[in-house]
């Protein structure tokens, strides 16, 4: 009994694209948008990593003993940010072939599920580094009175602008990740 | 032609559970694990929110003008944490009926996709608040020399232990969320 059920199911995966081209075209379109969104996410993730990694400001005055310098090295959160965003960008580049497979074979569930699972893991990674960096950027801008942490953005204006830009770029990548997962999940429907 | 293709597909969704009980049982098991993991995630999310919200320490000495007090109110990141984790806990409670639907109807794709989409959004929310709180907890423990932010955990030991516990609980919730999404995506396979 089970073989009778299985045979039309497996042949359906191949034939459906021919018998009902409209459904196949819809899923192909989702695959193409997926690919384009991935390119955007690569740009924002690597842009965020590069912007953060090049943030470095040395103040034009110094005392006898040391010079005032702010760089992303000073904060372990920002180091984490640079490493994580590079990882995410690298993953997204490696995921492009799988995205192409979903365009060529819009009815294959395997590549989509593979992408959903990895996208979820890297969404968590990207979100964590973006949010942690945001918390520090907020402190750098506003400080915290109760714990006596002073805002450093008054002194290091350019540094602060650069790390803020990196955080914004990383949140663009996070938003695109959420879109990618939602789109893949919807495309799995009616399979 | 398209109606000929559609009819066996829609009837398959209802009949498959009867004709191939093993496949239905497997998906039912995933639904049950999904429900149990959701209960665990509710406990850790609400536990994290409660632990953070009750963190409050007043030092036993004070000057003429003010008393030294640390509470989650002092840090906007921790306020965000409490609000977000309560939201996440509330969402998880509301998602339980949909999880029960996936147990009763293991072959229905709709509830699973609905859960994947909302889980992804709330995963991003939970991860962002957990990571932001972690960045501040790290600063409270270690401080940052370059920006002259001193570690406050030497003074506020109990406060620090409590916020660290809340962060750990929130990461348990994040981990369970990732598991939930991965499981739902795998259960959508072979649909």
ipTM: 0.77
Residue B12 has pLDDT above 60, yes or no: no
| Per-residue pLDDT at A57 exceeds 90 | no
- Which tokens sit at A70? 């702010």
Q: Using the predicted structure, report yes or no on whether residue A11 has a pLDDT greater than 50.
A: no
**Residue A182 and residue B117: Cβ atoms within 8 Å?**
yes
Mean pLDDT on A116-139: 93
CA terminus-to-terminus distance, chain B: 22
pLDDT score at A91: 96
User: Which residues on B lie below 8 Å from A135 (Cβ)?
Assistant: 77, 131-133, 135-136
Min Cα distance B143 → chain A (Å) is 9
Mean pLDDT of A141-154: 83
Are A147 and B152 in contact (CB < 8 Å)? yes
Mutation test of the interface with chain B: which of A132, A168, A178, choosing the one with the most B Cβ atoms within 10 A? A132
pLDDT of residue A15: 44
Euclidean distance between CA atoms A90 and A152, whole angstroms: 32
B9, B130, B144: residue with CB nearest A75? B144
Q: Which residue of A has its CA nearest to B142?
A: A76
Q: Which residue of B has its CA nearest to A3?
A: B20
Instruction: Return the higher-pLDDT residue of A148 and A9.
Output: A148
Confidence band, pLDDT 50/70/90 cuts, at residue B179: very high
Separation of alpha carbons A132 and A128, rounded Å: 6
Lookup: tokens for A100: 């192409």
Residue A71 near residue A53, CB atoms below 8 Å? no
For the beta carbon of residue A50, count every other beta carbon within 10 angstroms: 16
A148: confidence class by pLDDT, cuts 50, 70, 90: confident
Q: Could you tell me which of B40, B184, B172 has the C-alpha nearest to residue B119?
A: B184
Work out the average pLDDT over B10-39: 70
CB pairs under 8 A between A and B: 162
CB contact (8 A) between residue B189 and residue A109: yes
Q: Can you tell me the mean pLDDT for B184-189?
A: 85
Q: How confident is the model at residue A49 (pLDDT cuts 50, 70, 90)?
A: very high
**What confidence tens digit (pLDDT) does each residue in A71-121 have?**
888 888 999 999 999 999 999 999 999 999 999 988 888 888 899 999 999
Highest mean pLDDT among A44-58, A130-144, B17-31, B34-48: B34-48
CB contact under 8 Å between A188 and B77, yes or no, is no
Closest CA of chain A from B156, distance in Å: 10
Domain locations along chain A = 16-58+75-188
Q: How sure is the predictor about B189, in pLDDT bands with cuts at 50, 70 and 90?
A: confident
Q: Please answer whether residues A95 and B91 qualify as being in contact, where contact means their C-beta atoms are separated by less than 8 angstroms.
A: no
Q: Which residue of B has its CA nearest to A141?
A: B147
Is the pLDDT higher at A191 or at B109?
B109
Residue A153: per-residue pLDDT: 84
Percent of chain A scored above 90 by pLDDT? 51
CA nearest B21 in A: which residue? A2
**Contact at CB, B127 and A124, closer than 8 angstroms:** yes
């Amino acid at each position: 009994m089970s073989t009778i059920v299985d045979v039309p199911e497996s042949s359906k995966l191949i034939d459906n694209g021919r018998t009902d081209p409209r459904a196949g075209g819809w899923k192909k379109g989702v695959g193409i948008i997926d690919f384009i969104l991935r390119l955007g996410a690569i740009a924002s993730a690597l842009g965020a990593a590069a912007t953060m990694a090049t943030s470095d400001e040395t103040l034009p005055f110094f005392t006898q003993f040391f010079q005032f310098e702010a760089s992303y090295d000073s904060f372990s959160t920002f180091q984490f940010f640079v490493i994580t965003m590079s990882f995410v960008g690298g993953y997204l580049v490696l995921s492009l072939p799988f995205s192409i497979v979903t365009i060529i074979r819009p009815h294959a569930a395997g590549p989509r599920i593979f992408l959903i699972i990895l996208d979820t893991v890297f969404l968590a990674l990207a979100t964590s580094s973006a949010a942690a960096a945001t918390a520090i950027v907020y402190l750098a801008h506003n400080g915290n009175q109760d714990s006596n942490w002073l805002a450093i953005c008054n002194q290091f204006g350019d540094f602060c602008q650069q790390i803020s830009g990196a955080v914004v770029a990383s949140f663009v990548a996070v938003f695109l990740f959420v879109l990618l997962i939602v789109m893949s999940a919807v495309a799995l429907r009616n399979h």
